[in-house]
Amino acid sequence: MEYDEYRRHDAVGLAALVASGEVKPAELLETAIARAEEVDPRLNAIVRPMHDIARERAKTPLSGAFAGVPFLIKDLMQDYAGLPTGSGSRALATQPMPEHAEVVRRWLDAGLVVFGKTNTPEFGAKGITEPKVNGPTRNPWNTAHTPGGSSGGSAAAVAAGIVPAAGGNDGGGSIRIPAACCGLFGLKPGRGLVPSGPAYAEVLHGAAVNGVLTRSVRDSALMLDVIAGHDPAGPYVPGAPDGPYLELARREPGRLRIGYATESPIGTDVSPEAVAAVEDAIALLRELGHEVEEAVTGVDERQLARDFLTMWFASMAAEVDHVRQATGCGEDQFELDTRVMAAVGRATNAPTYIASHNRWNEHSHRLALFHETYDLLLTPTLAHPPARVGQLATPAWMEAASRLLLVVRGAGLLAKTDLVDRVAAENLRWTPYTQLANITGRPAMSVPTYWTEGGLPLGVQFVGGLGSEGQLLSLASQLEEARPWFDREPPVL
């Protein structure tokens, strides 16, 4: 199959071609590999090619909703048996995993042909994809800019046409942020809907979930049908929707009441382009018959940001300790930023951590009250257009201070000052809107309805109530029909 024809189809369309016998899985795979070899040297999206494994699989009888469709998985939380899950870390680059993650097993059962793993920052801890061990991934729309993170490798690969869909996960925006940066659709499912096992019962207390990045809404809907549902070893029995997600995506959403906000919830600056993206979406939504008005969530989102980072830092400490114990590696195998986050996490005492986690219930309660009035919350996905590669790197002066703190074991002092709040504001300044859905466990999506004057995508976010994945998909389909984005292709490739 020629590449131009390959790109004209989404994953559902390619699966239909395979099912009809018009094309063989091996042909699709070779087209995908050829596209990767053509463009990935400029993008650095794929960090672990699996061509031989994929070629052998493509020769076998395949069945399932996506039988024969080429696919990429993220090199974080998506274990493939016998291969390392590097997690963007030098410490894990060579450690093979004993079994498939449940979500990977479900993708394989659906007939997908996995031929590589995609780049991610170390342990998924940043909204950019610039790990020291693998180097930065670049945005296909402008390679001087980031594709976002932490699912930046997957987003770059989908936007560049290597695959129509790729695996991602989202613990603080890591599906929605790269979707917004790369002109893609990205849905973060609600807590517990998609399994995290068998390595984890849940990740980050359920704040982190698996999903995909796609160019079409129906691909995301059918992918959710494939991966959602009860895991016998998991901690939840998720509620079932009133039909397949693919069917729900085809339904009319009806007249929705949508509350919007553009101010940064943590008080940081917001670019005029991010505001313009929301204003553009508001105009489109009103044209489609929805009621849209400015609103406030009632959530103390500055406190939510602090609670998010308390959990994040402590999780980094636990992850670093676990990896060191499992591999015998030294502290120097981790990036400096990771070591600092871990040090601050270790300095957080147990009562402080439990109090912070208990506040998640308060934040969820406040957002539930908001959803009694509004079906959805609309915000920018990003406060600024995609940053330039290296722009969000830790400044040299902060690196020097961090090294000193580690030497003198000053993380405890650091944790008790307002410096953590200032560092948090700086780190979340670009992405202050996305953590709300993770902490509260609500589904949320980024929709690519806007491009800046400079030609960079800048998506908008919708946050729904519990179990609203179908409603979000329905609205996304309506927006996709009214403002199509599928055929938009990065000009630099």
Residue 379 confidence (pLDDT) above 90: yes
CA–CA separation, 431 and 385 (whole Å): 10
pLDDT, residue 408, reads 64
For the ranges 166-180, 262-276, 380-394, 398-412, the lowest mean pLDDT is seen at: 398-412
Pairing of strands 185-188, 209-214: antiparallel
Angle, CA 460 vertex, CA 477 and CA 294 arms, to 5°: 105
Which helix or strand (DSSP H or E) is residue 255 part of? none
Based on the residue annotation, tell me whether 174 is a catalytic residue of this protein: yes
Q: How confident is the model at residue 425 (pLDDT cuts 50, 70, 90)?
A: low
- Average pLDDT of the residues in 155-178: 98
Give the pLDDT confidence score for residue 26 in this predicted structure. Answer: 98
The pLDDT tens digits for 404-418 are: 777 666 556 555 555
- Model confidence at 485, pLDDT cuts 50, 70, 90, reads very high
pLDDT confidence of residue 304: 95
How many CB atoms within 10 Å of residue 34?
15
At residue 284, does pLDDT exceed 70? Answer: yes
Each residue's pLDDT tens digit, 82-140: 999 999 999 999 999 999 999 999 999 999 999 999 999 999 999 999 999 999 999 99
CA 427 to each of CA 125, 134, 222, 302, 392: distance values in angstroms, whole numbers, following the listed order:
11, 22, 34, 13, 8
Q: What average pLDDT does the structure give for the chain?
A: 95
Contact 289, 254 (CB under 8 A): no
- Helix, strand, coil abundance in the chain, percent, nearest 5: 45, 15, 40
8-state DSSP, 142: B
Q: Where are the alpha helices (DSSP H) in 288-349?
A: 301-327, 336-346
Q: Which two tokens stand for residue 144?
A: 């001087």
Supply the pLDDT for residue 417: 54
89: annotated active-site residue: no
CB 92 within 8 A of CB 327: yes
Strand partners, 48: 117
Residue 420 pLDDT: 57
Residue 376 pairs with which residues in a beta bridge?
A: 258, 464
Mean pLDDT, to the nearest integer, of 169-184? 98
Question: Could you tell me the pLDDT band of residue 439, with boundaries at 50, 70 and 90?
Answer: very high
DSSP track, 283-299: HHHHHTT-EEEE-----
Our answer to whether residue 74 is catalytic in this structure is yes
Q: How would you class 351 by CB atoms within 10 Å of its CB: exposed for 0-12, middle for 13-18, buried for 19 or more? A: exposed
Condensed to tens digits (0 to 9), the pLDDT of residues 299-310 reads 999 999 999 999
User: Which is catalytic among the residues 74, 117, 126, 188?
Assistant: 74
Task: Please pick, among 89, 150, 356, 474, the residue that the annotation labels catalytic.
Answer: 150
Residue of 87, 151, 154, 174 marked active site: 174
- Three-state DSSP at 97 gives strand
Kindly tell me if the per-residue pLDDT of 5 is higher than 80. Answer: yes
Identity at 109, one-letter amino acid code: D
pLDDT for 283: 98
Q: What does the pLDDT look like over 226-255, one tens digit per residue?
A: 999 988 888 888 888 999 999 999 999 999
Whole-number pLDDT of residue 416: 54
